[in-house]
Each structure stands twice: as structure tokens, then as C-alpha cells.
Amino acid sequence: MFKQTFTNLTQLPKQRVRQWLGTFETIICDADGVLWHFNKAIDGAPETFNLLKDSGRRMFIVTNNSSDESNALIKKARTFGIQLNDGHMATSAMSIAYYLANKKFKKKAYIVGEMGIKQELDKFDICSFMVKNEQGDKSMLQMAKEMKIEPDVGAVIVAKDDTFTVQTIIRACAYLLNKQVLFLGTCLDAAYPIGNNRMLVGAGAMIAAIKAISGRKPLILGKPNPLMFSEAINCGLINPETTLMIGDTLKTDILFAHNSGFQSMFVATGVNTVQDVEAARCSGTELGMAMVPDTFLPSLALLQEFV
């Protein structure tokens, strides 16, 4: 229903929207930009999440945020009043850890990112390390020549890293020049707008820098890769046909819904705008169309009246 039509639900008869919402057994919400912004809940979003849960639907949060371990993110959701069940949070860090565990990865992983990835890898006894603030007052040439390279590295994992520098790129590329070393990324989100013409730099920009210099192509294991939720589908926990994905970012959330066979709803409380959806629709490309959401509401809170 509504496939890639970007149907504005506020313009439909209420009964029609209720009927549509009634077809979903599982609802997956993105976190940042749908449920909260950094350390503040989005108005009405936790209440809507809880109402959907109380109505008997299975509620999940799936996020490309890899800075915290999944239980810490569940705790964060609960501080906003979101009644999230244990185990109902999936992160890109978990996705990377599962991927390496499935491959029976035995080498060391170099992490460009925050603690969340290390903590998820620790759960599978996968050895990993991070290197922060290594420049000092050396020139780039001197630093590159003197850099000590860890032996036995089998993967470079790149996520959003607040301490990302030229040194990070040199170190990552030193490993990646060996084609046997895996190049894994959390997501392609390049930037997070915070208002007042300011942007935070996302993993996508850091991955792009390392990709440009190493000439290697990364495997992205967060959204939109359907691997992120494939286990829940394969074990029969969720049926894609009765699953709705709600997100604020077209090339992660909406494409993830498309790739996983879920229906999608776009909310304009985060990264992308209605104009971005129109641009995707007018692009005339297959990828552009895959990023056109099925439905739209300005915010998650507006779904409340249809539950």
C-alpha cells in the first residue's frame, strides 16, 4: 500500500490511516531525528512509541549510532520515557560485531570510532584497539614515517569519530593497503545538521576520506544494509510484509526499508526535508526512487491519533 508514493497521511481520511496502521505487527523506529535529538526527546515521540507498543505491536529501535553499546542506548531511550524491551535495540556496531563473529574473525580490528564498537566486539571476544590523539607537534611526513603499525590487523572499522585526524587516515590506509584486511563502515551519513548553519561530521565523510586515499571500497553494515535486521527476519521474529520503518534519513532509513521489504514512513524532524524527497523522486534513477518513502507525517507525534 502507498508504495513509493510519499503519501501525506494528514491529507487522507482518518479512518483510512487507521486501517493502514492496523496492518502492521512490527514497527521499527530510527532514533536520532525520530525519537530524540542528541540529549532531548522530540515532542510527543516517546508517548507515540509507547502507545503503539501498548496497542500490541512489536516495537524496535534500529540506529546507525555506534558511539554507545546497545544496553547503554536502551537506557538512554528509557530516560526519555520510551518503554523499550530488552533486546529491541539494533545498532550498526552490533551489526559489525555479528558480521565478524559469523566470519569467525580471529585477527585484530582497528577501530576508527567510539567505544560502542569496541564494547560490542568484546562480547564476541574479538580483539580490537583504537588510537587517539597521536599527532603531537610532528609534521605529517615525520609522523607517517615514525608511525608504529600493529601487526596482525585483519579489519579496519570506521564510524563517526570525534577525534578523527589526518593521522587516523594514514593509519587506516597503512592497514588497508593489504587487500586481505577488511574495510568495514557503520553508515554513510555524512553530516548531522544542528542548526545555525552548523554541521557535525558523520561516519560517511570519514569513510569517504579513507576510501579516497586507500582506493578500497568499504562494506557498510549499518542501515541501509538489510543484514542489520536479517536475523530477526530469518528466525521468523518479524514478517517484512507487516513491518513499518519510520525514519528521517532517506539514504539510510528509507533505503533500508526498501532493501528489507518493509513499508516506510518519513518524518521531517531530522536530517532530510520534504524538498529532499522531491529531489529523489525527480532524479529519475532507480536509487532515487528507492529512497522515496511510502508515506509521510511531519512528526512521529502526529501518528498518535491513528493508533
Q: How many residues line the site for Mg ion (CB under 5 A)? A: 6
Among 74, 270, 277, 291, contact with Mg ion (rule: CB under 5 A) = 270
Number of alpha carbons in the 13 Å side-chain half-sphere of residue 272: 26
B/e letters for 13-29, b = 16+ CB within 10 Å, e = fewer, are eeeebeebbeebebbbb
The catalytic residue among 30, 68, 161, 189 is 30
Least distance from Mg ion to the Cβ atom of residue 124, Å = 26
Q: Which residues are annotated as a binding site?
A: 30, 32, 223, 248
Residue type, 44: G
Which one of 134-142, 156-164, 202-210, 247-255 is the stretch in contact with Mg ion (CB under 5 A)?
Answer: 247-255
If one asks whether residue 189 binds Mg ion (CB under 5 A), the answer comes out as no
Q: Does 204 sit near Mg ion (CB under 5 A)?
A: no
Residue (34 or 117) nearer to Mg ion, CB = 34
In whole angstroms, how close is the CB of 300 to Mg ion at the nearest point? 11
Which among 32, 161, 189, 253 is annotated as catalytic? 32
**Given the complex with Mg ion, which of 32 and 68 has the nearer CB atom?**
32
Extract the annotated binding site for Mg(2+): 30, 32, 248
> Considering beta carbons, is residue 154 or 293 the nearer one to Mg ion?
293
CB 289 within 8 Å of CB 281: yes
Joined grid coordinates for residue 296: 509521510
Rounded Cα gap, residues 174 and 196, in angstroms:
38
Binding mask 83-112 for Mg ion (x = CB under 5 A): ------------------------------
Residue 30 appears among annotated catalytic residues:
yes
Please give the helix or strand (H or E) that residue 245 lies within, else none: strand 243-247
CA-based R_g, the chain, Å: 20
Grid cell locating 252: 539510510
Say if residues 167 and 112 touch (Cβ distance below 8 Å).
no
Q: Map the footprint of Mg ion across residues 18-77, applying CB under 5 A.
A: 30, 32-33
Does 32 qualify as catalytic in the annotation?
A: yes
Q: Cβ closer to Mg ion: 171 or 251?
A: 251
In the complex, what is the shortest distance from the CB of residue 238 to Mg ion, in angstroms, rounded to a whole number? 20
Q: Which residue is nearest to Mg ion (CB)?
A: 33
**Cα–Cα distance for residue pair 254/251, rounded to 1 Å:** 6
Q: Is 47 exposed, middle or buried (0-12, 13-18, 19+ CB in 10 A)?
A: middle
As measured in angstroms, the least distance from the Cβ of 297 to Mg ion is 15
SS3 63: strand
Write down the least CB distance from residue 256 to Mg ion, Å: 11
> CB 126: neighbour CB atoms within 10 A?
21
- End-to-end CA, the chain: 18
Nearer to Mg ion, 38 or 235 (CB): 38
Q: Give yes or no for residue 248 binding Mg ion (CB under 5 A).
A: yes
What is the torsional sign of CA 283, 284, 290, 294? positive
Instruction: Give residues in contact with Mg ion (CB under 5 A).
Output: 30, 32-33, 248-249, 270
Give the residue numbers marked as catalytic: 30, 32
